[in-house]
Amino acid sequence: MGTIAATFKKEFRAYFNSPIAYIFITVFLVLSNWLFMRGFFIYNQADMRGYFAVLPWIFLFFIPAVTMRLWAEEKKLGTMELLMTFPVRDRDVVLGKYLASLLFLTITVLLSFSIPLTISILGDPDGGPILGSYLGTILMGAAYLAIGLFFSSLSENQIIAFILGVAGCFLLFIIGEEFVLFTLPQALVPLFKYLGLGTHFDSISRGVLDSRDILYYLSVVVFFLYLNVRSVESRKWK
């Protein structure tokens, strides 16, 4: 087993070794279902637009909670010293931790399958946009996770890691929103619109899968994972 796989396995099991996973999944599903179902029968539309529209906001608070432990706890317990004196590359540990959180999030999101199931019993939804939106949700979650993981590496306090993670995700989400763009000089608008997380999610949640959006999310992931590796290496700075 490689070192990425070893880290992945350990971190993934850690979610289920403690009540974190069960609490997280339950609260996430109850909250997102309730927010969606509240309006579902009023609109009387057999689609999941409403569901995917609230997810970026739910993720804002839920995803930093998934990642806050990953580095902050290592620092707090002192296991960072143990981990980094194993024959592992910093990069592999970052990847292992990231992939574990990604699988955990994917499972959580897929557990919301009861909604498309209900809708297809009640009506005749278009499957394409729903699948596209699920993919988009996971891509957006992947970007949030990378941001949260990075902020976790900055502190040994999980609460600080959480708050920084929320702030980081919120910032990247908000800069592409209309009311921020409105205040900017005209020349900067396209740039900020492109950088904003939400802009890319909108088109995906309509069921449009554009390679530019996918590329955008992947770039955010790579960028923050890179920062993460640098921040883990910072103990070696002279």
Partner 1 sequence: MISVNNITKHFGETVALRGVSFEVQKGEVLGFLGPNGAGKSTTMRIITCYMPANSGSVSVAGFDVSDNSLEVRRRLGYLPENAPLYHDMKVIEFLAYIADIRQIGKTERTNRIGKMLEVCGLENVRHKNIAHLSRGYRQRVGLAQSMLHDPDILILDEPTLGLDPNQIIEIRELIKHLGREKTVILCSHILPEVSATCSRIIIINDGRIVASGAPEELTSKAGGAPVLSITVRGPADEVAARLALVEGITGVRADGEPEAGLQRFTVTGQEGTRPGEHLFRAVVDGGWSISELRQESATLEDVFTKLTTGEKA
Q: Which is nearer to partner 1, 8 or 36 (CB)?
A: 8
Backbone φ and ψ for 124, nearest 5 degrees, come out as -130, 75
Classify 6 in phi/psi space as left (phi over 0), alpha (psi -120 to 50) or beta. Answer: alpha
CB of 14 to partner 1, least distance (A): 6
CB of 158 to partner 1, least distance (A): 13
Neighbouring CB atoms inside 10 A of 26's CB total 13
- Whether 83 contacts 93, CB under 8 Å: yes
Is residue 22 at the binding interface for partner 1, with CB under 8 A as the rule? no
- Nearest Cα neighbor of 212 from 129, 220, 180 is 220
Q: Please tell me the count of residues contacting partner 1 according to CB under 8 A.
A: 27
Amino acid at 192: F
Of residues 85-114, which lie at the interface with partner 1 (CB under 8 A)?
A: 85-89
Of residues 60-89, which lie at the interface with partner 1 (CB under 8 A)?
A: 77-82, 84-89
CB of 103 to partner 1, least distance (A): 17
- Nearest Cα neighbor of 134 from 209, 63, 221, 22 is 209
Q: Considering only the stretches 1-9, 128-136, 141-149, 224-232, report the one whose residues sit in contact with partner 1 under the rule CB under 8 A.
A: 1-9
Is residue 14 at the binding interface for partner 1, with CB under 8 A as the rule? yes
Distance (Å, whole) CA 195 – CA 82: 38
Q: Which is nearer to partner 1, 9 or 38 (CB)?
A: 9
CB of 67 to partner 1, least distance (A): 16
> In 78-196, which residue ranges form alpha helices assigned H by DSSP?
79-83, 90-110, 114-122, 127-152, 158-174, 178-181, 189-195
Is residue 238 at the binding interface for partner 1, with CB under 8 A as the rule? yes
Distance (Å, whole) CA 96 – CA 24: 21
Q: Which is nearer to partner 1, 88 or 181 (CB)?
A: 88
- Whether 141 contacts 151, CB under 8 Å: no
Is residue 38 at the binding interface for partner 1, with CB under 8 A as the rule? no
Q: Which is nearer to partner 1, 78 or 190 (CB)?
A: 78
Chain residues binding partner 1 by CB under 8 A are 1-3, 5-7, 9-10, 13-14, 17-18, 77-82, 84-89, 235-236, 238
